[in-house]
Structure 1
Amino acid sequence: MKVDPHLVPAFPVQFSDLECPSCGKGSPVPIGLAVPGSNVLGAYRCDNCGYRFYRDLPVGFAIDHAIALGMDDGRTFYQGDYVHFTMDPIAKGSRKKNMAPVQVERRVERRYDRVILLNTLDHLYGHVLLKLWNAQHYLDAHPDLGLVVIIPKGFEWLVPEGVAEVWSVELGLSRMLEWHSDLDDTLSGYLKGYEEVYFARGYAHPEKDRIDIARFTGIGPFPLHEFQALPPHITFVMRTDRVWHRWRFEKWAARSLSLFGSRALRDRIWRIVQDRRMAKCFDRIKKEVPALTASIVGLGAPGRTYHGMEDLRSPNMDVERERSWCETYARSHVVIGIHGSNMLLPTAHAAGCVEILPYDRYRNLGQDLAVRNNDIMQLFLYRFVDEYASPIQVARHVVSILKDHAAYSRNNIKNVFGHE
């Protein structure tokens, strides 16, 4: 079998670089695999004390946040830094398995006897997307191995060309962290047909500046070399669950309304507030850049159109809608939005962004951005503002990106040693 730090061996030799969680000794003997959802687990028996347990393979978040689960006594062992959202659901699920049927569609594009499995199942939209972007590395680095992508049904359109198989799982994202016995049985059955199996590491935060987004969406990103030549366009990426608030009390009121009131009422109120802030921001930018046009995307009913802003919001999401949004991002000099996974596809296609960053997300700075540059232009094209930043403050950054780009790129990219 191949020896590669980005591959986890599964069959015929299974990863076993671990200790028994019960006695802390011995060399656990692999006795099987389990793929009941987002977790990929090896089954082991300790050759010292006989303890049988499941243990996360070093895949996805389990690289740093692994858990071991007693097969017979149900004990839980945290083997890495504790993170509740990845560890608690699988621990609970192992004790109370979901026996309901799970539909899996297996699409075989080309047959391989030796394969890499990339498990992208996760409970969050952005996590699925980031894991999927790992596919580019495995397709390019291991052409001799077939890449099999395990993916939620709604993301199937993003699977790149060249994969060997797609295993599409018909299951809501919120349920991906559970232990689904039927899903495990189905996927384990598929695995029996291969001579050699590896799991992709499925890094939660792959190097985004290396991602060729057109391989995933079929839509080429904004051509950076034409930044100054193309008509100026910006896109607001809005969401109703995380709002561009004016001040701290307003944010507190929104959360209180969500907990003790009507979510629909909350959405209507803050939609009005947010739309007004967008309009004010757009008007201020347009005073400085008269040729500017703008779009609005996000979940929600389309609203009023302001001075050329096209409102592409929709209450429902489907493949065609998401693809059309990607086309909008790809013609945007700047995308503007609240921190979150909603910014991944916009920044993967647009030239730059201004992100409104809540203070409780500082530790996640940049994780939701598909930064396309690996030079000083990162600092220029990707801006962050406080969560209570005014429309005028946001507008100033956008105007700077649009009007100062020529001078900044000339001084820092063109007129330097090494430029040809």
Structure 2
Amino acid sequence: MENRENEFSNEELEIQNEPNFRENSGPLEGFFGVLKGALCGVDQEQIDDEEQSSFDVERQRRQFERQLRRAELRRLTNETEDAKQAKMYNKEHKMLDKQDKKEQRELKLEQKRLKKLEKELLKLEKARLKQQKAEMKAQKKLEKQRLKKLRDKEKLEKKLQKQASKQHKLGRINNVQVDVTGAVSESPIEESKESDNLESSHSSDDESQVDQDMDVSRSDESNEDISDEGRKVDSVRAKSIEAQIQESLSRNKDLAKMLKLAQDLNKEEKRKKRLENLNKQKKPVLTPHEKLISDFLKSQIKFRKMVCSKKDLDKCNLDEDRKQLIIGIRESLGKVSNDKVKENRKKGLELIAKIDNQKLFVYTSKKIGPEEDAWKGHAPAEEPQTHFRVDDTTCTLCLDQFLPDDVLRSINTCGHVFHAECFEEHVLYCGRYRDCTCPNCRGAIM
């Protein structure tokens, strides 16, 4: 057994001294470095899948070894009787719990980092959407400008057509005048020259405007090409980051499942320990001295029950001396209770027990009950009937014996006594369905 324990302790030391067990920061830092580089626009190398898989396998192996070690420690603690060995096993169990807590903390840190990365991704997406909106607005503005230019061109063309039509009309009129007079005037020639000059000027203006429109369209196309390239780069980066996050989430899910299984096992172990402790508490192991005390107390309790009850002593297996003693105690209790009830029917009740201290009864003379009358009946006070006579040392509602510290209530009409709480409940119950009466003699209370 000792050799086996040493083997388990050596394996635990080896696991604790491993670099991956102390701080699993190497692969995690590389993973988050890649994510940060992608967010900042810097190209970095991705994590090797083989290293990450080996890291997961090692973690699962450590968890499985801890579970085996816990089971072994539990078995050893149940088998061993030496206190020192049990303490050592408990220390090892605590060490295993600490290791589990460390892994849980690491997982929480990873989850926090992933949340931060997701927030950064959302920020990037929002910025990208803003850029898209700005680009759309710029495109709309350019389209509006282009449409305005086209409209201006159409307006100029219409004006030129109108001027050309006017010139044609003027030329026809001049030709008609020449035919009629037979002489050619110089004015129409000059007008034709002026019209030619105007047409040439308008054509030059149109060509310059067309060149400007071509330049604007080319600049728009170049801007669109640049924006398309930027979008492609952003989409590639976002896809790479999303793929890395999905891989990390899948790995974290596996780890979370393993941790849940370990937590369930720990809960079952704790529940079993509680049940074992309860069973031990139910059946305690007493020393000889404690056994004597418990037996003595049980015998005294039985004796008190025999005195307070109304059982026939002939049916009980008791000695004659014990029977005579019980009979004497009962007679003394009955005399005291009957006499004091008759004397203090309106003032309250005094219970006096003239019994030796050896019989677990104390000599007391104490006034119990209300100083004033609790109930004032309309009917005259009468003696209770003989066939309704009841022992005045017990409450007939709850069937418990009166004690010196109890608060009692007496009925003025018949003199029967009860506990205050029991009597109030009886009055409330009777008042709902019928008139209030004494539960012993059925006499009217009010």
> Shorter-chain-normalised TM-score: which range?
under 0.3
Higher relative contact order (CA 8 A, sep 6+): 1
Give the TM-score normalised by the residue count of structure 1.
0.13
Normalized per residue, the structure richer in helix is 2
- Structure with greater strand share of residues: 1
TM-score scaled by length of structure 2? 0.13
